[in-house]
């Protein structure tokens, strides 16, 4: 075994415990291992493939399309591990199915946020690219998520996310004993002025790795908190799951259409051209 690409004796990648070829093209990547089980309720022929540390992996199908769900844990470091190993095992399109905190007043708890890009306030992506490199979602995945949310008649918002390493001070929450300093104290207000919609802890790393590895990635998160209104409620999780699964079906339809038309990229009039 090589230390540069650690695997088990059985040939599984060390962290997610899957082998090359065991993961289908489409991968839904929530943070919470319990959310994988909630995704699994919507899968045909679903089965658990592995569960090691924060990485719970299920495989199954939706409308006959193979896909997997793999939890990434909290934050960008473990998320990067999941993407590295899932890509090696076969995944090519990643959709984050997460929860988030909104920082704009018009976004309600239970709404969805579909990210087109993310501010890189985490450290993991800096191991991969220079500071000025943009973290952006794949446009086809983003369009598919929008179409999915529309078809399900869900309330959603589209815009920029800020990804942090810290849930507390990194997202302008006070630390233990009320500790605060100038940067986090002003961060929330500054991001609001920049029209950033929400905080999360994974999207910018997902987008960055997908871009440099020529993969596709998108993100749909349900709002559990609104920082402006100081409200919090766990609701709408199933809406995010349904949106991601529906987006997979849409993406597969578009892929078949592109192949039929001999096109590399999807564009709207492709749906009407004969």
> Is residue 217 over pLDDT 80?
yes
Structural domain harbouring 237:
26-271
- Asked if residue 75 belongs to a domain, the reply is yes
Token pair, residue 180, equals 């605060």
- Asked if residue 220 belongs to a domain, the reply is yes
- Asked if residue 10 belongs to a domain, the reply is no
- Asked if residue 41 belongs to a domain, the reply is yes
Cβ–Cβ under 8 Å, residues 211 and 127:
no
> Is residue 3 over pLDDT 90?
no
Cβ–Cβ under 8 Å, residues 28 and 39:
yes
- Judged on CB neighbours under 10 Å (0-12, 13-18, 19+), 69 is buried
pTM assigned to the model: 0.96
pLDDT of residue 7: 82
- Kindly state the average pLDDT of the residues 163-191: 97
- Asked if residue 49 belongs to a domain, the reply is yes
pLDDT of residue 4: 83
Cβ–Cβ under 8 Å, residues 251 and 93:
yes
Q: Tell me, what CATH number does 254's domain have?
A: 3.40.50.1580
Tell me: the pLDDT tens digits for 262-274? 999 999 999 887 7
Percentage of the chain beyond pLDDT 70 is: 99
Tell me: the pLDDT tens digits for 103-121? 999 999 999 999 999 999 9
**Pairing assessment for the beta strands 93-102 and 156-164 based on DSSP bridges:** unpaired
- Asked if residue 2 belongs to a domain, the reply is no
pLDDT of residue 53: 96
Cβ–Cβ under 8 Å, residues 46 and 37:
no
pLDDT of residue 84: 97
pLDDT of residue 208: 98
Backbone angles phi, psi at 234, to 5 degrees: -85, 100
**Dihedral through CA 250, CA 222, CA 36, CA 144, nearest 10?**
10
- Asked if residue 13 belongs to a domain, the reply is no
**Terminal Cα distance for the chain, rounded:** 53
Q: Domain total for the chain?
A: 1
- Asked if residue 141 belongs to a domain, the reply is yes
């Amino acid at each position: 075994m090589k230390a540069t690409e650690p695997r088990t004796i059985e040939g599984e990648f060390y962290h997610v415990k899957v082998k090359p070829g065991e993961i289908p093209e489409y991968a839904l990547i929530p943070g919470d291992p319990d959310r994988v089980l909630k995704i699994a309720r919507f899968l045909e022929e679903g089965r658990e493939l592995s569960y090691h540390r924060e990485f719970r992996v299920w495989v199954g199908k939706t409308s006959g399309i193979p896909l997997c769900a793999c939890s990434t844990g909290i934050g960008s470091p473990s998320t990067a591990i999941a993407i590295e190993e899932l890509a090696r095992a076969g995944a090519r399109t990643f959709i984050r199915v997460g929860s988030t905190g909104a920082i704009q007043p018009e976004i309600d708890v239970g709404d969805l946020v579909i990210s087109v890009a993310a501010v890189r306030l985490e450290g993991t992506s800096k191991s991969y690219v220079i500071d000025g490199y943009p973290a952006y979602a794949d446009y086809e995945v983003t369009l598919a998520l929008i179409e999915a949310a529309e078809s399900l008649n869900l309330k959603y918002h589209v815009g920029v996310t800020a990804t942090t390493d810290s849930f507390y001070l990194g997202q302008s929450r006070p630390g233990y004993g009320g500790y605060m300093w100038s940067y986090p104290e002003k961060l929330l207000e500054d991001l609001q002025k920049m029209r950033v919609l929400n905080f999360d802890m994974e999207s910018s790393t997902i987008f960055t790795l997908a871009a440099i590895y020529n993969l596709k990635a998108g993100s749909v998160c349900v709002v559990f908190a609104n920082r402006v209104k100081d409200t919090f409620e766990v609701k709408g999780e199933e809406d995010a799951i349904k949106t991601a699964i529906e987006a997979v079906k849409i993406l597969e339809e578009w892929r078949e259409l592109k192949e039929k038309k001999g096109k590399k990229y999807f564009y709207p009039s492709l749906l009407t051209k004969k």
